Amino acid sequence: MANRKALVTQSELTRCLKAHRDAGIPIAKTETRPDGTIVVYSIDLNRRENDNPWDKP
């Protein structure tokens, strides 16, 4: 049985992540789907997860 061609290559993923980095978009995580789609999740700098209203005096 022959190996199949990779749907997402390392160079494609690297190019995508470098484009986000160069644009100033912080990356939280990436996901590659079985159909070859690359999903990049970014960090929302305006939202603070530690900002809980119950923690304020």
pLDDT of residue 5: 87
The pLDDT tens digits of the residues spanning 22-48 come to: 999 899 999 999 898 999 999 876 766
Average pLDDT rounded to a whole number, residues 11-32:
92
Q: Quick one: what percent of the chain has pLDDT higher than 70?
A: 79
- Residue ranges of domains in the chain: 10-45
pLDDT of residue 19: 94
Please give the DSSP secondary-structure letter assigned to residue 38.
E
Residues in a beta bridge with 32: 38
Residues in a beta bridge with 24: none
Q: Is the pLDDT of residue 15 over 90?
A: yes
